[in-house]
Structure 1
Amino acid sequence: MEVCFFLIGESAPAHHAFDHSDVARLQSIARDAAGLKRFVTHVPSVPNAPFCVTQWYFDDLELMEASLQPGNAIATVADDIAERASNGTLYQQAMAVRNFSTPHPHACEPRDERCTYLVSYEGEADNFNAWLTHYLTHHPPLMTQLPGIRELEIYTRIDYRSGLHHARATAMQRNKVVFDDIAALDAALASPIRTRMKADFDSFPPYSGATPHYPMRSIYGNLTRK
């Protein structure tokens, strides 16, 4: 199973928004991460969303942990983001990846852009095993029916070693739902499938906590080594 490391930048003033040159710099640094399989940078499409989210995918937990040590790729990017947005807060979290097939996948080439709906469950379920069993059994079959969906991933937290000094996020679960653009996302959110998803949500095992949802512009990294 893949592991994914999230760096999440929050609460930065608007003038610290990331532009294409910032994203290109992060992608250039990411190429040095040994064992890195995929790299995606997300920047906000709406106000009050995280100012930057990066995702680092590895097949090996130890390779991911090595990149989290001072001087290595993820640590370097974390320092770069923190310096670029000095008034923001940077969070880190490693998670296991569950990847679901969609009816019309579209492989992304380096530097391609998509529209991603990032969801996080920040609180706790009364019984996480019951929650996750219900969620994985009932929700993805609905989500993969959303019109225009290209990718679906669900993440659950894991323990990991890190040399980063940034705060650790503790989200119980995260989701990533990917569409071609914001118009496709809007159409999916207005579809009858979304109504069925809301009905299923009401049947989830008990959970308390925030569930923020953010549309993001997503740029896929070029991992061709220097």
Structure 2
Amino acid sequence: MQSVAHDAAGLRRFVLHLPAGHDERVASAPFCVTQWYFDDLERLEAALQPGGAIQAAADSIAATVDECTLLQQAMAVRKFPTPHASDTHDERCTYLVSYEGEAHDFNAWLTHYLTHHPPLMTQLPGIRELEIYTRIDYRSALKHTRATAMQRNKVVFDDVASLDAALASPVRARMKADFDSFPPYSGATPHYPMHSIYGNLTRE
């Protein structure tokens, strides 16, 4: 899959996530998640057309994994600086979060979330990356079901032990208190620890 990503025109970054850890959070985790980062929506849509890189990768997964259900979603990326950021990495541990329901007032929700939650999240001990995603409209020739998550997040750490230490820190309690003050929202919010492998997209 990484070799397919390497040839995708306009792709800036590729990450493969596989389930990590051995607790109840992993039991229902997706068997894999791929992230394809494009600066240009037109380049992303081209990769989603017949013969495109993402189309080829999706076909490869469907052919090798029995009875898998593939989902697709294009999202805008908001990246936040973290105190322990590092550009040198091949593998990490990522905590993926999905808000799969709907806020009663999405503008109020997003305004509160982006104002109050990232400043807390960046205080998590050992955090390497923080990204928040919101859905966008896009063209795709993939036949796979479109996911409709209202918002997704990811926080990245060196390994599972670092993630567990962050989740046990006092910062997590402050995040929970802020979560309880969010504008009205209804729906599932699954959290998955994942082992993340970063593709090498260095090009001449």
Same fold (TM over 0.5): yes
The answer on 1:70 being equivalent to 2:50 is yes
Indicate which of 150, 173, 176 corresponds to 1:198.
176
Instruction: Return the letter of the residue paired with 1:39.
Output: F
Q: Is 1:152–1:177's contact at 8 Å kept on the other side of the alignment?
A: yes
**Match of residue 132 from structure 1:** 110
Q: Within 2, Cα distance between the matches of 1:128 and 1:170?
A: 14
For the residue of structure 1 that corresponds to 2:82, the secondary structure is coil
Instruction: Return the letter of the residue paired with 1:33.
Output: A
Query: Cα deviation per residue 1:99-129 (whole Å; 9 max; x = unaligned)?
Result: 00001101134xx110000000000000000
RMSD: 1.0
CA drift of 1:199 comes to 0.2
The answer on 1:44 being equivalent to 2:22 is no
Query: Cα deviation per residue 1:35-78 (whole Å; 9 max; x = unaligned)?
Result: 00000000011322100100000110000000000111000001
Q: Structure 1 residue runs of 4+, over 3 Å off?
A: none
Instruction: Return the letter of the residue paired with 1:212.
Output: P
Q: Is 1:32–1:225's contact at 8 Å kept on the other side of the alignment?
A: no
CA drift of 1:189 comes to 0.2
Worse overlay, 83-92 or 141-150: 83-92
For the residue of structure 1 that corresponds to 2:30, the secondary structure is coil
Structure 1 residues without counterparts, runs of 5 or longer: 1-25
**Match of residue 4 from structure 1:** none
CA drift of 1:225 comes to 4.7
The answer on 1:105 being equivalent to 2:80 is no
Q: Within 2, Cα distance between the matches of 1:86 and 1:57?
A: 27
Indicate which of 214, 217, 226 corresponds to 2:192.
214
Superposed counterparts of 1:52-63, under 5 Å? 52-63=32-43
Q: Within 2, Cα distance between the matches of 1:86 and 1:209?
A: 29
Q: Within 2, Cα distance between the matches of 1:224 and 1:87?
A: 34
Higher relative contact order (CA 8 A, sep 6+): 2
Q: Within 1, Cα distance between the matches of 2:15 and 2:145?
A: 21
Worse overlay, 113-122 or 43-52: 43-52
**Match of residue 201 from structure 2:** 223
**Match of residue 157 from structure 1:** 135
Q: Within 2, Cα distance between the matches of 1:27 and 1:126?
A: 39
For the residue of structure 2 that corresponds to 1:137, the secondary structure is helix
**Match of residue 23 from structure 2:** none
**Match of residue 96 from structure 2:** 118
Q: Within 2, Cα distance between the matches of 1:195 and 1:50?
A: 27
Instruction: Return the letter of the residue paired with 2:121.
Output: M
Aligned residues: 199
The answer on 1:142 being equivalent to 2:120 is yes
Normalised by the length of structure 1, the TM-score is 0.86
Q: Within 2, Cα distance between the matches of 1:224 and 1:83?
A: 28
Q: Is 1:108–1:220's contact at 8 Å kept on the other side of the alignment?
A: no
